[in-house]
């Protein structure tokens, strides 16, 4: 994959992400040093962010709903199988490398057979 | 040191992030500099994924910042301990704040057995080796580059890395529900322009998770809930 963006634009993206992320990290440390734990409603909402973002990044690689020329739904079954195995490995071992290798192994095996 | 096993666990993740950067056509030394400037794991991988799709710049930055909103929570949680640190420690400490450094430090700080001086060095003792490990593994990925990710199916290592990060986070039913709703919605909203389906799906997932949490805290003993375990999303 190659992006259509030039190096300048990519730099701007990463600088913006860097500033934004640093601002989030620094926010309460700098400003609200006197506060105790964050208000419960805030941490209650924020705690769902990692899981929801990751799920929303994973899911579209497995299935695509298209609406443009007509409604269509395509599922990549080889990747679904690979993901299920990866989920199992991640759940059992919590090991990043084992999860990646297991998932890729299943994907290659299924693609070789089909 | 408690940070060692966690740091080693991040190596494959860093290698993939570095490789994905050069795979997108970013020159190696720029890729490393960008990694240092942003110093953000999952958000960097998500950003490079969206850069590959030539998603609008605002959507890419917004997605990365949303992924990193959790740092605000860590910042708030660490603030009472950072209060008595000097300014340099605050500014430098904030830069190296990660999920891992936070998790290790906050549990130790809450024990209350460390002096302020020891707290400072405990924090940096965890955060800086983690920072170094991340950049060394990203640099390794940059050097190995296309040889790591070449071939269409090797790009699939990126969502697999996300799975490895997602599963340990699914500790209770509201989180599992939020992830399932977000994943399902992201497929249904994939046709949204400018990758806005992602952000929308995340917001709907968070709403679902917290609504479910509110319900289960009001009627706490009812344990009939959605099927756990199989996370197809």
Q: What is the pLDDT of residues B195-226, one digit of tens each?
A: 678 888 989 999 999 999 988 877 654 444 44
> What is the reported pLDDT for A78?
93
Instruction: With beta carbons less than 8 A apart as the criterion, state whether B232 and A84 touch.
Output: yes
> What is the reported pLDDT for B151?
55
Q: What is the DSSP letter of B214?
A: H
Q: What is the mean pLDDT of residues B127-142?
A: 94
Distance CA A68, CA B197 (A): 15
Instruction: With beta carbons less than 8 A apart as the criterion, state whether A103 and A83 touch.
Output: yes
Instruction: With beta carbons less than 8 A apart as the criterion, state whether B120 and B21 touch.
Output: no
Where helices occur in chain B by DSSP H, the ranges are 3-9, 11-23, 28-38, 41-52, 57-67, 70-82, 87-95, 99-111, 116-144, 146-149, 157-166, 173-188, 196-218
Q: What is the mean pLDDT of residues B147-167?
A: 74
Q: Which residue has the higher pLDDT, B26 or B6?
A: B26
Q: What is the mean pLDDT of residues A62-84?
A: 90
The residue assigned the tokens 């998603």 is: B55
| Band of pLDDT at residue B230, cut at 50, 70 and 90 | very low
pLDDT at B127 over 50: yes
pLDDT at B96 over 90: yes
pLDDT at B131 over 80: yes
Q: Which residue has the higher pLDDT, A50 or B82?
A: B82
Instruction: With beta carbons less than 8 A apart as the criterion, state whether A45 and B210 touch.
Output: yes
Q: What is the mean pLDDT of residues A51-60?
A: 88
Distance CA B154, CA A100 (A): 10
Find the residue in B nearest to A31 (Cα).
Answer: B79
Q: Residue A44: CA atoms inside 13 Å, Cβ hemisphere, count? A: 12
The residue assigned the tokens 């059992």 is: A92
Smallest Cα distance from A82 to chain B, Å: 9
pLDDT at B65 over 60: yes
Cα A42 to the chain's mean position, in Å? 22
> Which two tokens mark A72?
């269509």
pLDDT at A53 over 90: no
> What is the reported pLDDT for B81?
86
Q: List the 25-84 stretch of B: residues with Cβ below 8 A of A.
A: 25-27, 30, 34, 37-40, 42-44, 46-47, 49, 51-52, 54, 57, 60-61, 63-80, 82-83
Q: What is the mean pLDDT of residues A77-104?
A: 93
pLDDT at B149 over 80: no
Mutate to test the interface with B, among A45, A58, A108 (most CBs of B within 10 A): A58
Q: Do B160 and A104 touch (CB under 8 A)?
A: yes
Of B25-29, B89-93, B149-153, the least confident: B149-153
Q: What is the mean pLDDT of residues A98-113?
A: 91
Of A11-15, B24-28, B146-150, the least confident: B146-150
Q: Do A87 and B163 touch (CB under 8 A)?
A: yes
Q: Do A42 and B73 touch (CB under 8 A)?
A: yes
> Which two tokens mark B53?
């799709």
Q: Which residue has the higher pLDDT, B124 or B155?
A: B124
Distance CA B31, CA B178 (A): 33
Q: List the 132-191 stretch of B: residues with Cβ below 8 A of A.
A: 153-157, 159-170, 174-176, 178-188, 190-191
| Band of pLDDT at residue B141, cut at 50, 70 and 90 | very high
> Which two tokens mark A32?
């609200």
> What is the reported pLDDT for B168?
87
> What is the reported pLDDT for B232?
42
Q: Do A24 and B153 touch (CB under 8 A)?
A: no
Q: What is the mean pLDDT of residues B138-142?
A: 94
> What is the reported pLDDT for A37?
61
Q: Do A84 and B26 touch (CB under 8 A)?
A: no
Cα B21 to the chain's mean position, in Å? 17
């Amino acid at each position: 994959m190659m992006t259509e963006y030039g190096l300048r634009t990519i730099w701007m993206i990463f600088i913006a992400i860097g500033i934004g992320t640093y601002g989030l990290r620094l926010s309460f440390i700098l400003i609200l040093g006197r506060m105790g734990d964050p208000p419960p409603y805030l941490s209650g909402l924020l705690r769902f962010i990692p899981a929801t973002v990751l799920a929303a990044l994973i899911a579209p690689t497995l299935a695509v709903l298209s609406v443009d020329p007509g409604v269509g739904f395509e599922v990549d079954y080889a990747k679904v199988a690979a993901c299920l195995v990866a989920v199992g490995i991640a759940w059992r071992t919590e090991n990043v490398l084992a999860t990646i290798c297991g998932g890729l192994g299943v994907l290659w095996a299924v693609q070789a057979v089909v | 040191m408690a940070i060692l096993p966690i740091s080693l666990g991040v190596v494959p993740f860093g290698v993939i992030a570095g490789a994905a950067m050069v795979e997108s056509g970013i020159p190696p030394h720029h890729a490393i500099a960008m990694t240092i400037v942003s110093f953000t794991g999952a958000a960097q991988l998500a950003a490079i994924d969206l850069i590959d799709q030539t998603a609008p710049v605002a959507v890419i930055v917004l997605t990365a910042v949303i992924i990193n909103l959790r740092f605000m929570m860590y910042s708030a949680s660490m603030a009472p301990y950072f209060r008595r640190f000097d300014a340099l420690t605050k500014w430098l400490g904030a830069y190296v704040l990660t999920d891992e450094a936070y998790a290790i430090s906050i549990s130790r700080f809450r024990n209350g057995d460390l002096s302020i001086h020891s707290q400072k060095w405990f924090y940096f003792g965890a955060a800086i080796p983690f920072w170094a490990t991340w950049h060394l593994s990203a640099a390794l990925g940059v050097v190995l580059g296309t040889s790591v990710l070449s071939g269409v199916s090797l790009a699939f290592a990126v969502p697999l890395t996300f799975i490895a990060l997602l599963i340990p986070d699914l500790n209770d039913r509201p989180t599992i529900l939020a992830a399932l709703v977000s994943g399902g919605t992201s497929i249904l909203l994939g046709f949204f322009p400018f990758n806005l389906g992602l952000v929308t799906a995340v917001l709907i997932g968070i709403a679902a998770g917290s609504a479910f949490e509110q319900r289960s805290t009001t009627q706490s003993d009812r344990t009939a809930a959605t099927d756990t375990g199989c996370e197809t999303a």
